[in-house]
Chain A
Amino acid sequence: MENAGAVALAALAVGGIIAFVVITGFAYSTLLERKVLARMQVRVGPNRAGYIPIPRRGKDDLRLLGGVMQPLADAVKLFMKEDFTPPYVDTWVYNIAPIITVFPAVFSLAVIPWAPLPQWLADMTPHYLAPHGYLAIAPGLNVALLFILAITSIEVYGVVLAGWSSNSKYAVLGAIRSTAQMISYELSLGLTLLIPVMIAGSLNLNDIVVSQQQNGWFIMLQPIAGILFFVGALAELQRAPFDLLEAEQELSSGYNVEYAGMRFAMFMMAEYVKMIIFSAMWAVLFLGGYAGPLVSQFPMLGAVYMILKIVAGLFLMIWIRASWPRLRYDQLMDFGWKFMLPISVLNVIVTGVMIVLAEEGVFDGMLGWFGLLGG
């Protein structure tokens, strides 16, 4: 590869920009969550940090966009905190656990397709993005979905290590719950992910997006799979109503009780970046990815649609958190093993049979969904 250096440089630039955008997005998704939760509880939410004063005659200034600088204020606060390590922790593991948690979350950004490739970007990166035709940090990866599943599963090690090394019963209990939950729901999540793969015939996320442009959004074709994926994602993310891991009443906060300052912020960051990743995956797999009106003329509009779909997914997660009570532990296990898993397995089998039948031409005379399925 004579162009390896140029490719690496371009990948670094693209990756840097996307990671920067998403990490800023992480900061603002915390603000979104606080604001939306507040409004759903008929409160105002953070509105002090960084408003834009608009002078008005005879009255006090109108305060526009109250709270826009709240994430920055939070970050500054967390940086300023004492970097406290409790006694009797396993120091090395204790220090490495937040890093193990946060890095996989950021890694999985690599394969998300953000937009079709605009011409100017293709000209700039002839050996990097141009051969693949879409904008992602690692566009060539043909097992992108597998990569995301593998990498997000690593995160649970960070959680377990954090719980174990903290030398606290609450942390250990939180970590144990987290592991059990992840194992239970990863099965049905993985099976649900198979459905778009089966219909599109590829593990590459861009191929799945392109396939949705021909077949219609997969949430229309496979509403059950779409919903199951979202529920499984909530469980994977330890979000309400599956947030047993950090049940405040019982565990005071779960695996991260003994953490403070920037290390605690890294756990939070992992959580929110994973939220963004799963929203992005939901958008890519079921909501048509970067597809939308006028994308073929202005490819970068795809990124805007992608971000809108991610925000919609985040909003849905926050909305659910504001509405639903937490599941009990046995209910969680029952739901995962006795409900989610059988339905996912059945769904995979039925979809597989339908695809084979469509390929054999059984539905050729019929209009409707299944005719579309064969592609």
Chain B
Amino acid sequence: MLGYISELIKGMAITMRHMITPPVTIQYPEIKRPVRYRFKGRHELKRYDNGLEKCIGCALCAAACPADAIFVEASENTDDVRFSPGERYASTYEINMLRCIFCGYCEDACPTEAIVLEDKYELAFYDRASAIYTKDMLIVDVPINGQQTPQVVEPGVFTKSIPIMEDPK
């Protein structure tokens, strides 16, 4: 009996101790905790330093996608209207976020490291149509020294779809 009572009092002491410790709550919408290094959030389409898009419209990501969430349509690049290095670029790039399971296979499949799952995670929609993220929503801003696409470039410079990467990771 005394054993029971001492256990009960011990339990109450623990709750009282917790009561005077400061709460661990993070006040979410005001304070956001940074995500982990390998967090898989919303996709982004990357650019080269000169502003050209890394995506070449090869649709390997769409092929790798187990949820069939990605739709890619490619068009031809010319030196007057150039979006990306090489022959083709993605004229349409759509990801249905209701289908995406954030597995990251698209990242693995991408030959140019164009698609990366980044740290954005607030993906809420009011209707199903707005769950489809288009290329405009996915692509990152042009770097400071870069130019907006489409660019007018000198002929014969950007002939390779996959340029030699200086520090491949």
Contact A323 B23, beta carbon cutoff 8 Å: no
Chain A residues near B27: list those with CB within 8 A: 44
Contact B12 A320, beta carbon cutoff 8 Å: yes
Contact B25 A44, beta carbon cutoff 8 Å: yes
Q: Which of A36, A42, A60, A324 sits near B8, CB closer than 8 Å? A: A324
Q: Main SS of chain A's interface residues?
A: helix
Contact A40 B15, beta carbon cutoff 8 Å: yes
Contact A42 B24, beta carbon cutoff 8 Å: yes
Contact B8 A319, beta carbon cutoff 8 Å: no
Contact B12 A44, beta carbon cutoff 8 Å: no
Q: Is B169 an interface residue when CB atoms closer than 8 A count as contact?
A: no
How many angstroms between the C-alpha atoms of A164 and B125 in the bound complex? 44
How many angstroms between the C-alpha atoms of A43 and B8 in the bound complex? 22
How many angstroms between the C-alpha atoms of A36 and B18 in the bound complex? 11
Chain A residues near B8: list those with CB within 8 A: 323-324
Q: Is B19 an interface residue when CB atoms closer than 8 A count as contact?
A: yes
Q: Is B21 an interface residue when CB atoms closer than 8 A count as contact?
A: yes
Q: How far is the CB of A339 from chain B (nearest CB, A)?
A: 9
Q: Which of B19, B24, B25 sits near A40, CB closer than 8 Å? A: B19
How many angstroms between the C-alpha atoms of A322 and B16 in the bound complex? 9
Chain A residues near B14: list those with CB within 8 A: 323
Chain A window 318-331, contacts with chain B (Cβ cutoff 8 Å), 1 for yes, 0 for no: 01101110000000
Chain B window 1-32, contacts with chain A (Cβ cutoff 8 Å), 1 for yes, 0 for no: 00000001001101110110101110100100
Residue of A with least CB distance to B12: A323
How many angstroms between the C-alpha atoms of A31 and B36 in the bound complex? 36
Contact B23 A42, beta carbon cutoff 8 Å: yes
Residue of A with least CB distance to B21: A42
Q: Is A296 an interface residue when CB atoms closer than 8 A count as contact?
A: no
Chain A residues near B23: list those with CB within 8 A: 38-39, 42-44
Chain B residues near A319: list those with CB within 8 A: 12, 15-16
Q: Is A41 an interface residue when CB atoms closer than 8 A count as contact?
A: yes
Contact B19 A39, beta carbon cutoff 8 Å: yes
Residue of B8, B15, B27 with most chain A CB atoms under a 10 A cut-off? B15
Chain A residues near B25: list those with CB within 8 A: 42-44
Chain A residues near B18: list those with CB within 8 A: 39-42
Q: Main SS of chain B's interface residues?
A: helix
Within 36-59 of A, Cβ neighbours of B (below 8 Å) are at: 36, 38-44
Q: How far is the CB of B19 from chain A (nearest CB, A)?
A: 5
Residue of B with least CB distance to A318: B15
Chain A residues near B30: list those with CB within 8 A: 60
How many angstroms between the C-alpha atoms of A42 and B17 in the bound complex? 10
Q: How far is the CB of B6 from chain A (nearest CB, A)?
A: 13
How many angstroms between the C-alpha atoms of A322 and B19 in the bound complex? 10
Residue of B with least CB distance to A38: B23
Within 11-45 of A, Cβ neighbours of B (below 8 Å) are at: 36, 38-44
Chain B residues near A322: list those with CB within 8 A: 15
Chain B residues near A60: list those with CB within 8 A: 30
Contact A324 B11, beta carbon cutoff 8 Å: yes
Contact B12 A36, beta carbon cutoff 8 Å: no
How many angstroms between the C-alpha atoms of A323 and B16 in the bound complex? 9
Q: Lowest 9 CB-CB distances: which A-B pairs, in order? A: A323-B11, A44-B25, A40-B15, A323-B15, A323-B12, A39-B19, A322-B15, A44-B23, A40-B19
Q: Can you give 24 A-B contacts (C-beta < 8 A)? A: A36-B19, A38-B23, A39-B18, A39-B23, A40-B15, A40-B18, A40-B19, A41-B18, A42-B18, A42-B21, A43-B23, A43-B25, A44-B25, A44-B27, A319-B12, A319-B15, A322-B15, A323-B11, A323-B12, A323-B14, A323-B15, A324-B8, A324-B11, A324-B12
Other contacts beyond A38-B23, A39-B19, A40-B15: 16, CB < 8 A: A39-B18, A40-B16, A40-B18, A41-B18, A42-B18, A42-B23, A42-B24, A43-B23, A43-B24, A43-B25, A319-B16, A322-B15, A323-B11, A323-B12, A324-B11, A324-B12
Residues of A within 8 A of B (CB): 36, 38-44, 60, 319-320, 322-324
